[in-house]
Structure 1
């Protein structure tokens, strides 16, 4: 009754939407392994061939890996959907069905393919961890960390924790400076399409000035604009995205675009206006995010990739992401050589 299929047509992958979301919920999966993010990325930024590997047990979807493959030189490389965009991805394997995960990876890692999986969440079986794929050569390394805030009340309850002494002082100073300058601070939240349309011009303005001051990756501009816009609009319409915008008086000072999954708010994109940095708008907006999380039953705020000073001030713990490379030694050597060559060209 168990069967594994490799889906290469977008329409066929989209037809799994409801079963895919139900499986992701059963696994406690993050936002990047879900169809909203994975398939939107493929529509707008994907290259090569779609490769969603799905395992059914009878009519029930029990495992799924959101992947794609493309040729790099002579090597056929398999990567996550969302590769290269800070995607913390994972394979979805229903609890109690670890053998389905083995079947999934045995299919994905067919002869001649190299698995090049970065920013893996260490959840569920990975290649090389079970009897079917144990003979494959797997190089597994720690890659990055994702700080996490555990929500045990509103912002004031969080700041009252003795461990939050430094960020409590930062917030107190920011509030005092606002009061001394005669400014007001407020936050607007878009969880419906009409409010989103009203707030997006302010989000774009803050993004523009933040990138002009410190270029990072302007996901509302250039090649990424259509993808990011689709995620925001579709996500707000379906309850998978929340947009928070902070204002000093009537001037947008900071924003946070949050991906929502059961129990968890994942802070995907956030920026602040450097001209208003003295008022710490990002920290004050984080207070609003904690209040919203507490009011709506969210128990975790995942700050995603990067162990920055800002995140360490707020987070009580973190989890590790992994980098996995698996395949024939000559093919892995070619892929590694191509990567080093590209790094030298960029340098």
Structure 2
């Protein structure tokens, strides 16, 4: 393989056009998942502004591009998927029929190992190195919202009836309910991030928005817009007050759900669920084929989904001391995390512990805020 490695900003316009064209036609080529916005050049370029070591490998055949692999490289030669930790889809974007050797590609990128945690399906060369596979639920709306809602009523009649009733009650109790699919006010984005940070703390999870690079990435993507890619902020308002919001990424045919949150003061109305139904309706009207809810089993995803994709995690490693050291550090952590998540008898007590820690953190934070006012 003829492989060259570039900084994201150095990619030629012809290469970017080829990359985008393959994504645009992915559903016609039988690999619709390659159209995921996390696999777009726009996401790689935006991440490159926030993280060091972002590179794009270009594989060429007969003088033209055949495939693109974005990755992040450490000084030691450890490679990881671009935006790993927040990216919900990773892999090689390629022309139809392209085949590759995973280790040859990793070697050509100048890496000892390449790690992934949301590998897209249909990439057998990488998948052979996977250590686990996981469900990524989706909401199909290519047949229109009415078809989706009808199927939801059949699959989950009580859930559908209850959610729609809560939306009506929300309007009766607090004023007119209004939905904006593509809100452009950055102040609302800031409110969403504040809600999400509070949710992370409340549930004992690490606050992603406490990391400047993630906050900067989301803000940059919010302002990134083209015919084939955009950051989409969707908001549910009640009497012009935002009560739930979601920030995700859109390609021509896929809306990747990313950061949903809501105002806890309205929790009894399930505004997050109402928001997702409104998102599905607007996405269908906008020509989206499906909403990707992302890896992870959660009750709301199980209720809303129509089917599941499969994503994988693992690493392609060469026989190299750096690769051996990286796997030795990472493998035990992944194994423990996945075991806990997959076994209710372990996950439920761990989840309760995290929430208890979150409540203690929130209480201490409130005490600090109160003292600072005096």
TM interval, shorter chain, is 0.7 to 0.9
1:289 and 2:279 matched: yes
Q: C-alpha displacement at 1:273, in angstroms?
A: 1.3
- Residue 37 (structure 2) aligned to one of 31, 35, 59: 31
2:131 aligned counterpart, secondary structure: strand
Q: CA deviation at 1:174?
A: 0.8
The residue aligned with 2:181 is: 189
For residues 142 and 105 of structure 2, the distance between their equivalents in structure 1, rounded to whole angstroms, comes to 42
The structure-2 alpha-carbon separation of the partners of 1:182 and 1:334, relative to structure 1 and needing over 3 Å to count, comes to: closer
SS of structure 1 residue aligned to 2:221: helix
Structure 1 segment 79-118 matched on structure 2, within 5 A: 79-98=80-99, 101-102=100-101, 106-109=104-107, 113-118=112-117
Preserved contact between residue 50 and residue 69 of structure 1 (Cα < 8 Å):
yes
1:168 aligned to 2:169?
Answer: no
- Structural mapping, 1:224-263, within 5 Å: 224-235=214-225, 239-263=229-253
Of the three residues 143, 147, 161, the one matched with 2:137 is: 147
Between 1:251-260 and 1:217-226, the stretch displaced more is 217-226
- Structure 2 CA distance for aligned equivalents of residues 51 and 95 of structure 1: 23
Q: CA deviation at 1:251?
A: 2.1
Q: Segments of 4+ in structure 1 off by > 6 A? A: 340-343
Shift of 1:164: 2.7
Q: Please list the CA deviations of residues 30-79 of structure 1 after superposition, one character each: whole Å capped at 9, or x if unmatched.
A: 11121111121122023xx444221223453221111232245xxx3222
Aligned length: 324
Instruction: Compare the two structures and name the one with the higher helix fraction.
Output: 2
The alpha-carbon distance between structure 1 residues 160 and 50, as it changes in their structure 2 partners (threshold 3 A), is closer
Cα pair distance change 1:342/1:292, threshold 3 Å: closer
- Give the Cα separation in 2 of the matches to 1:157 and 1:238: 25
Q: 2:311 aligns with which of 321, 327, 332?
A: 321
Query: What is the CA–CA distance in structure 1 between the aligned matches of 2:116 and 2:186, rounded to whole Å?
Result: 36
Contiguous gaps of at least 5 residues in structure 1: 130-137
Indicate conservation of the 8 Å contact 2:253/2:288, yes or no. yes
Deviation at 1:82, TM superposition (A): 1.3
- The CA deviation at 1:233 is 0.9
Q: What is the rounded CA distance, in whole Å, between the counterparts of 2:265 and 2:12 in structure 1?
A: 43
Deviation at 1:169, TM superposition (A): 2.7
Task: Work out whether residues 55 and 71 of structure 2, in 8 Å CA contact, stay in contact via their aligned partners in 1.
Answer: yes
SS in 1 for 2:73: strand
Q: Normalising by structure 2, what TM-score?
A: 0.75
